[in-house]
Each structure stands twice: as structure tokens, then as C-alpha cells.
Amino acid sequence: MVCRDVLHGDIFIFQRGLTGSVRNGHIVVIEKVGEEEGLGAWALKKLVVEKPRTYRLSEYDDEINWDDPVVVLHSYNQSVRPARLDASGRYRVHGVFLRSLRAEDARFVDVEMVRQIATGEP
């Protein structure tokens, strides 16, 4: 994502657990599941909904006769072709990308130390 000023070694900040509110155009943190699950097959991709889910309501307001949406993942690397998501669930969205930080601009601290400072405990 060099064209978006995101470089190798940068630290990513994303909001996890928002899969129900992921919208067209969001940059998402996505995992390819299956053979590569648990092996670091994670990526940042722009999610594009080319055709939203469609359905009809029955006389009891139940959703019937629905068609799955057409969702495509776009890479910011021009040499990577867009990938259409299939209904088999090969991809898992983990959250929405918020921003990135340069590694040299970030400082990590121990959570326990922060708690001690906040509560005044030794």
C-alpha cells in the first residue's frame, strides 16, 4: 500500500469486530482461510460491493428468494488483480483499517505499568 503511504514495517491500527458494519469502499483487514489459515495469510484490501444482497419479503415479512451480494477485494498494488469473494467463506474480515504509524513513531509500554501509574500502586 505504498501508494497510500503505508510502508513495510508500519504498525496498523484497525477496529476489530465491525464485520456487520463494513461498508463499500472500506479498507478491511482480511484473512484467507483454508490451507493458509493461521499461517499469516492476512492482508489489507479495499472492499467493493458491486451488487448488494437482494431479497423479497414474504407476506410475513420474512426474507425469501435472496441473491448473495457480489463483493470484490481490490489491492492497491496495480499488479494484483481484484478478487471476487465467493459464498463459500474462504475469507474472514477481522476489522476495518483506521490508520498506520511508522514504527519509529510508536512506543510500546507494558499494560501493567500503565495500570500501576493510573491507580498509584507501586
Q: How far apart are CA 73 and CA 45, in angstroms?
A: 6
Report the distance separating Cα 49 and Cα 97, nearest Å: 17
Which positions ≥6 away from 16 have C-beta within 8 Å?
29, 94, 95
Q: If pLDDT is split at 50, 70 and 90, which confidence band does 31 have?
A: confident
Instruction: Name the residue among 48, 51, 1 with its Cα closest to residue 25.
Output: 48
Domains of the chain, CATH where assigned = 2-119 (2.10.109)
* pTM over the 0.75 mark: no
When pLDDT is cut at 50, 70 and 90, the band that residue 40 belongs to is low
pLDDT band at 116 (very low <50, low <70, confident <90, very high): confident
Q: What is the pLDDT of residue 43?
A: 82
**In the predicted structure, residue 37 carries a pLDDT above the cut 60:** no
73 and 85 Cβ atoms separated by less than 8 Å: yes
Per-residue model confidence as pLDDT tens digits over 57-112: 787 887 776 676 778 888 888 888 888 877 666 777 888 888 888 988 888 888 88
pLDDT at 19: 55
Q: Nearest Cα to 6, choosing from 98, 72, 109?
A: 98
Residue type, 65: N
